[in-house]
Amino acid sequence: MKESRALENIISIKSEIQYGSNDIKQMKRIKCDSLNIAIKALEEIQQYRAIGTVEECREARERQIPKKIILNSEDDMEYEDYICPNCKDILQQRRKGATRITIYKFKFCHNCGQSLDWSE
């Protein structure tokens, strides 16, 4: 059962307790208080899930810290590749020695959003 379904059920059970006639008043209040706490906790969990897990938030924060790009320029290659340090996607490619061609230094990786440091 998904939490959203459980939440609907709990709300329904709570309303049965509230408006049914079997419980004495004191028991009704105790049960309703407990259910209110359960409902609030489930609603909070749903809100946190919408924001993302702690791990996802941590990863997003770490991507905001600039990381040095990787320059892949091996002797047998015709081109040099500028690579994202996080996802390893190729950001730019330039024919070796073509220094007149400007490398556009993106602030962020177009693929994963990593903040990029282009300093030598």
Using CB under 5 A, list all residues that contact Zn ion: 84, 86-87, 89, 109, 111-112, 114
Q: Provide, rounded to whole angstroms, the least separation between the CB of residue 76 and Zn ion.
A: 25
The smaller minimum CB distance to Zn ion, of residues 4 and 111, is found at 111
Collapse the DSSP code of 26 into the 3-class scheme (helix H, G, I; strand E, B; otherwise coil) and give the result: helix
The smaller minimum CB distance to Zn ion, of residues 90 and 98, is found at 90
Q: Provide, rounded to whole angstroms, the least separation between the CB of residue 51 and Zn ion.
A: 22
Q: Provide, rounded to whole angstroms, the least separation between the CB of residue 120 and Zn ion.
A: 20
d(CA 79, CA 95): 4
Place of tokens 């709300």: 11
How distant, in Å, are the alpha carbons of 30, 49, 64 from that of 7? Answer: 18, 15, 36
